[in-house]
């Protein structure tokens, strides 16, 4: 039986863990932050949705680019800029700035998760694909 837990698989699994942990840490705290900077209930929903819309729009584009240019640079770019984006939330003092940040964050999320997910499917042995994907 082919090995699943290779160095590359472990690295990519930790990258996904980082991405999803950061994402889910914002879900309960972002509405409080939005209200703190003067936002209302509608703006909370809008800010949460902007992230998702940006990610959904960019994913098909990134998918094609991954096939054309490779995975590595997109993984590095996506992870670095996704992480940096997390730090800029403190600088978003208005709803407009936060909206821009949410769009950028959604794009970096899409780049990161699509690139890492694609790389993982590349390295998982065919005979263990279901098991490997189950760890994600």
User: Would you tell me how many other CB atoms lie within 10 Å of the CB of residue 117?
Assistant: 19
Using CA atoms, how far apart are residues 54 and 135, in angstroms rounded to an integer? 26
Tell me the pLDDT band of 28, cut-offs 50, 70 and 90.
very high
- Does residue 66 contact residue 74 with C-beta atoms inside 8 Å? yes
User: Would you tell me how many other CB atoms lie within 10 Å of the CB of residue 43?
Assistant: 17
pLDDT of residue 46: 95
Tell me the pLDDT band of 1, cut-offs 50, 70 and 90.
confident
Tell me the pLDDT band of 135, cut-offs 50, 70 and 90.
confident
What is the rounded average pLDDT for all residues in the chain? 94
- Angle, helices 7-36 vs 41-69, to 10°: value is 150
Domain segments of the chain: what residues?
23-123
The yes-or-no verdict on residue 33 having pLDDT over 90 is yes
pLDDT of residue 55: 97
The yes-or-no verdict on residue 136 having pLDDT over 90 is no
Task: Output DSSP code: residue 106.
Answer: H
Cα dihedral angle (40, 46, 50, 56), rounded to 10 degrees? 150
The yes-or-no verdict on residue 19 having pLDDT over 90 is yes
In 3D, which of 73, 62, 65, 69 has the Cα closest to residue 111? 62
pLDDT tens digits, 83-121: 999 999 999 999 999 999 999 999 999 999 999 999 999
pLDDT tens digits, 40-89: 999 999 999 999 999 999 999 999 999 999 999 999 999 999 999 999 99
- Angle, helices 95-123 vs 72-87, to 10°: value is 150
């Amino acid at each position: 039986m082919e090995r699943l837990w290779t160095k590359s698989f472990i690295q990519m699994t930790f990258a996904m863990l980082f991405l999803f942990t950061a994402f889910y840490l914002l879900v309960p705290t972002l509405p409080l932050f939005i209200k703190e900077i003067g936002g209302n209930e509608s703006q909370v929903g809008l800010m949460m949705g902007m992230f998702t819309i940006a990610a959904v729009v960019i994913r098909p584009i990134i998918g094609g680019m991954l096939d054309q240019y490779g995975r590595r640079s997109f993984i590095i770019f996506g992870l670095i800029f996704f992480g940096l984006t997390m730090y800029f939330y403190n600088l978003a003092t208005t709803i407009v700035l936060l909206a821009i940040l949410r769009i950028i964050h959604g794009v970096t999320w899409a780049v990161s998760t699509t690139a890492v997910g694609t790389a993982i499917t590349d390295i998982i042995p065919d005979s263990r694909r279901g098991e490997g994907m189950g760890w994600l």
